[in-house]
Structures are given as structure tokens and as C-alpha cells.
Amino acid sequence: DGGITQSPKYLFRKEGQNVTLSCEQNLNHDAMYWYRQDPGQGLRLIYYSQIVNDFQKGDIAEGYSVSREKKESFPLTVTSAQKNPTAFYLCASSIADRGDNEQFFGPGTRLTVL
């Protein structure tokens, strides 16, 4: 079945540690996105990539980093510089270059900083 997978579903991190969230898609989509969801704030864009080896900052990129070495994969690293990392993280993908294209979302990763 085609879709987006995110792992792990739940992740716990100690303060000061970096942690990487996985996102993989087999939809052959060019564009991939990372969103952060906090209670009462909707989704906010962290990073996006429209092609392999290229990515752009979104609205809240500080404290995060990404890579796009393969079309299928777009991992997100939450660094120790992120002041309030506890949140729900959603990865999405779409066919690039058209605004009406649906973004398909993964099931998300809940990150908790202890």
C-alpha cells in the first residue's frame, strides 16, 4: 500500500539531546514537509523540500534540521537548541509545483522532552 510512515510513534528525550524523527513515503512524491502541532495552534511548517538535496525553512525552523538525500526520505532532527520541543510532529508529501495538490500526511510522532 502506498503511503507515508513515521517512526517512532512516541519518542522521549532528555533535555540537551538531539533526536531524529523518521519520515518515509512510497508515493513517488517530489515534495515533503514537516509540521509541528501544538494544542490550540493548528499546524505550523518547520521545513519543506521540493526536490532531492534541496530544502527550505518554514515558519519555525529554529532548533531543527533536515536532510533530503533520497526522494523517499525526509528525516527531521530536533536539536538541543529547540527551546520547547515537546509537540506532535507530522510529515506530509505531495506532487510538487501545484497548489491544489493534496498533501498526504503520515500518522505523526509524539515527542516528549523529560
Partner 1 sequence: AQTVTQSQPEMSVQEAETVTLSCTYDTSESDYYLFWYKQPPSRQMILVIRQEAYKQQNATENRFSVNFQKAAKSFSLKISDSQLGDAAMYFCAYRTFYNTDKLIFGTGTRLQVFP
User: Whose Cβ is closer to partner 1: residue 7's or residue 17's?
Assistant: 7
Please report, in angstroms and rounded to a whole number, the separation of the first and last CA atoms in the chain.
35
User: Taking the CB of residue 62, how many other CB atoms lie within 10 A of it?
Assistant: 11
CB 107, min distance to partner 1, A? 5
User: Contact 68/32 with Cβ under 8 angstroms?
Assistant: yes
**Could you tell me which stretch among 13-21, 63-71, 75-83, 99-107 binds partner 1 (CB under 8 A)?**
99-107
User: Whose Cβ is closer to partner 1: residue 59's or residue 62's?
Assistant: 59
**Could you tell me which stretch among 14-22, 43-51, 60-68, 69-77 binds partner 1 (CB under 8 A)?**
43-51
Separation of alpha carbons 52 and 70, rounded Å: 6
